[in-house]
């Protein structure tokens, strides 16, 4: 099964995107550029200003537009995530899926001056290493903790509660991992759950979207956006405000 949601109105855009990426993959292969994760990390270290999170974000965006597509939250959807971080809080944030550290820098930049912290869970040791290097280049290591392992394994080891959770990992795990956070008491009252890619993976995430949109203890808002680094492919972000329910069971 193709995980992305393809229909008549976006099939041409996906075809164009696929052909462009194929060209970029071949170009990177024949130039010996290595993996895009290592390549963008080196690009950041060579071009972004040390200790400047905004410069790091801009440099990663530049790389994704000029060299290889990156599965970052990107500028447009990043604004939705940043808006969820506004106000006096939050102080404690959780990220499921660090990838190369883009969203960790975006979140860290917003919460660093508040004395906040981000815990980021990344399945891939290689991606976690790249994310740490990017976060360190941005000067945000003191407030960002990137841990290696699946969310299923790592979530039971977390302590305290989180004010914002950004979900951007394996799509089939969105709902099970949200339920784990709920059942283990790891969400603060009023916690904001920000889920990326709910447009391009609408079919895969149908159960997650049904849950956050119909559960009595959730107040959910959909933000229609474009996919990162695309002017034409539709995507979306779902922001859900969580309240403690009367009872929860792990499923």
Please identify every residue annotated as catalytic.
168, 171, 196-197, 228
* Pair 100, 135: CB distance under 8 Å: no
* 34 neighbors 40 (Cβ within 8 angstroms): no
Judged by DSSP in three states, 231 sits in: coil
For 115-243, strand residue ranges (E) read: 117-122, 144-148, 162-167, 187-195, 218-226, 234-242
Cα distance from N-terminal residue to C-terminal residue, the chain: 24
Cα dihedral sign for 241, 243, 248, 250?
Answer: positive
> Helix 102-111 vs helix 125-137: angle between axes, to the nearest 10 degrees?
40
Burial of 107 (0-12, 13-18, 19+ CB in 10 A): buried
């Amino acid at each position: 099964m193709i995980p992305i949601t393809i229909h008549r109105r976006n099939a041409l855009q996906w075809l164009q995107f696929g052909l462009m990426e194929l060209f970029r993959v071949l170009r990177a292969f024949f130039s010996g550029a290595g993996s895009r994760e290592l390549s963008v990390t080196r690009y950041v270290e060579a071009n972004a200003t040390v200790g400047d999170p905004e410069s790091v974000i801009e440099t990663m965006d530049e790389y994704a537009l000029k060299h290889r597509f990156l599965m970052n939250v990107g500028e447009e959807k990043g604004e939705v995530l940043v808006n969820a971080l506004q106000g006096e809080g939050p102080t404690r944030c959780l990220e499921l899926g660090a990838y190369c550290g883009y969203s960790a820098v975006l979140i860290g930049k917003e919460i660093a001056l508040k004395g906040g912290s981000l815990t980021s869970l990344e399945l891939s040791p290689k991606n976690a290493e790249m994310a740490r290097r990017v976060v360190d280049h941005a000067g945000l290591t003191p407030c960002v903790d990137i841990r290696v392992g699946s969310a299923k394994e790592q979530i039971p080891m977390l302590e305290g509660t989180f004010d914002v959770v950004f979900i951007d990992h394996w799509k089939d795990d969105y709902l099970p991992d949200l339920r784990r956070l709920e059942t283990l008491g790891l969400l603060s009252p009023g916690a904001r759950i920000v889920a990326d890619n709910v447009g391009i993976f609408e079919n895969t995430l149908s159960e997650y979207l049904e849950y956050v949109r119909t559960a009595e203890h959730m107040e959910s808002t959909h933000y229609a956006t474009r996919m990162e680094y695309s002017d034409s492919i539709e995507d979306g972000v779902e922001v859900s405000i969580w309240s403690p329910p009367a009872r929860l069971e792990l499923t």
